[in-house]
Amino acid sequence: MIPELVDWVSDPANWQGTDGVPARVLQHAGYVALALLIAAAIAVPLGLFVGHTRRGAVVLVGSGNAIRALPTLGLVTFLFLLFTDSFVAALIGLVVLGVPPILAGTYAGIQAVDHDVVDAAEGMGMRGGQRLWRIEVPIALPLILGGVRNAVLQLVATAAVAAYVGLGGLGRYLFDGLANFDYGEVTAGAILTALLAVILDLVIAAVQRALVPKGVRIATAGRRAAGPAATEEVVA
Amino acid sequence: MTFLDELSRFLGSENVRAQILANLLDHCYLALLPLVFGAVLAIAAGWLGRGRRRVRGVLFVLSNLLYTIPSLALFMVIPGIIGTKFTSSANVVVGLTVYTTALLVRPVLDALDAVPPHVVASATALGYRPARRFFAVELPLAVPVLAAGVRVASVSNISLVSVGALIGTGGLGVLFTDGFQRVYFAPIVVGIVLTLLLALVVDLLLVALRRSLTPWDRAAPGKAEVSAA
């Protein structure tokens, strides 16, 4: 495996043109970014609404869990037969799988805001909208971005699977390599996909650090040490 | 031809039904074996990392990193590391074991560290040696948190086994590649429905298992354990 991998990686032809590594990495990241934008545009407002008004929470949690059990390959092949276009099918599949983590993060983040803080804001004369944007959203931001982070991992993985129905990106190396018995290409593609996921995860972690207000960061530092499960007890 | 006709024709064949049953059974063992392996490994990691900050830190970073790797990529990197064939179902079992372990390490360590010191002290005073104390006192108290993690892992494993069909292993994912190649909706829909049902049934079984493992939760309803901690 290792010599084949070295052969593939050291061949300059694999680093140029539309099939080259830079082009494929950008393509893969592009699918992820596009699907993430659409998924966030759907999930964040919905999560804010449900978290703020506490309406429809049961439906939301239930459907989120059901989608988590949905097999990505089944979804992607189903959508492909429906739309017979790999880009449209893959994009819809990516959005469907990207929405639940962001929705769950946004909802959990807004819900985890201390009632006393919201009461205090109301006491100071803040209206609903002001409370939402100036109090609830900043405090919920770590969990919202945590949801975005989970969504990105899901999207990188699903975009690779979607190469099976003809999508471009790094998944091409995996399937083309398997079809041609070029295991150097398969292994290189797998490593590149894993690297892309790790790097995007680090980028979002950095964004998370930069965007979350300092006061919230200090306040949550103690909670995070106790793990994500602790957030429920903090609310209570 | 409507979809229902297509579906009844597909399921009407005895061969097809036998094949689907075989796929379902493959799917069960490919998803559940890693669940058991992963839980055992995570408990072992908990034993090693409990109370040791350095080891904990290393385990957290490692499990976060491993959990980041996309499934298809992981299934295809594993042959290069452990020397299996690309199309071996061992790749799926090892890959899902990695995910399950990575998912469970953190909750197990958190749960073990959350065992009240006075409980550990009482067990020690009663003459429990460390190994017996771990398995008879600390681990059972960590069961609720462990069970919550195992439920998440089981849903994710059951959904991810399908990806294995792309490297040629069995399971319900075969129905997806089959339907795709023959441009045929019926196998894909049957595969999706069976995967969702399997996830639901296993989840209910895990809830029942957790109840039977933590009889004290029923004796004292209202999370007395949590508020005491």
- What pLDDT does residue A220 have? 65
**Helix %, strand %, coil % of chain B (to 5):** 85, 0, 15
Q: Please name the member of A69, A164, A187 whose beta carbon is closest to the beta carbon of B166.
A: A164
In a domain, A45, yes or no: yes
Burial class (CB in 10 A: 0-12, 13-18, 19+), A200: buried
Burial A140-169 (b: 16+ CB within 10 A, else e): bbbbbbbbbbbbbbbbbbbbbbbbbbebbb
- Considering the domain boundaries, does residue A178 fall inside one? no
Q: What is the pLDDT of residues A111-166, one digit of tens each?
A: 888 888 888 998 999 988 888 888 889 989 989 999 999 999 999 999 999 999 99
CATH of the domain at B55: 1.10.3720.10
Q: Is residue A37 part of a domain?
A: yes
The answer to whether the beta carbons of residues A46 and A103 sit under 8 Å apart is yes
pLDDT tens string A25-82: 999 999 999 999 999 999 999 999 888 887 888 888 778 777 888 999 999 999 999 9
CATH number for the domain harbouring residue A57? 1.10.3720.10
Is there a domain that residue A160 lies in? yes
Number of domains in chain A: 1
What pLDDT does residue B175 have? 95
| Domains: count for chain B | 1
As a whole number of Å, the CA-based R_g of chain A is: 21
Q: How far apart are CA A32 and CA B166, in angstroms?
A: 21
The reported pLDDT for the residue numbered B222 is 53
Residues spanned by the domain of B166: 3-228
A162 touches chain B (CB under 8 A): no
Question: How distant, in Å, are the alpha carbons of A181, A211, A220, B56, B123 from that of A214?
Answer: 52, 9, 10, 26, 43
Q: How far apart are CA B224 and CA B229, in angstroms?
A: 9
Residue A161 touches chain B, beta carbons under 8 Å: yes
Residue B207 has pLDDT above 70, yes or no: yes
Integer Cα distance of B95 and B61 in angstroms: 18
Rounded Cα distance, A83 and A166, in Å: 13
pLDDT of residue A233: 28
Report the largest interatomic distance among the alpha carbons of chain A, rounded to a whole angstrom: 69
Q: Note whether B69 contacts A5, CB cutoff 8 Å.
A: no
Contact B33, B154 (CB under 8 A): no
Q: Which residue of B has its CA nearest to A185?
A: B76
Kindly give, in sequence order, each residue whose CB lies less than 8 Å from that of residue A100, ignoring residues fewer than 6 positions away. A43, A63, A64, A67, A68
Residue A207 lies in a domain: no
Look up the ipTM and state it: 0.86
Note whether B180 contacts A164, CB cutoff 8 Å. Answer: yes
Write out pLDDT tens, residues A170-226. 999 999 998 888 888 999 999 999 999 999 999 999 998 888 877 777 776 655 444
CB contact under 8 Å between A227 and B107, yes or no, is yes
- pLDDT of B1 reads 63
* Per-residue model confidence (pLDDT) at position B174: 94
- Inform me whether the C-beta atom of residue A78 falls under 8 Å from chain B C-beta atoms: yes
Domain enclosing residue A42, as ranges: 30-169+215-231
Region of residue B69 (phi > 0: left; psi between -120 and 50: alpha; otherwise: beta): beta
* A35 located within any domain: yes
Residues 6+ apart with CB under 8 A from A10: none
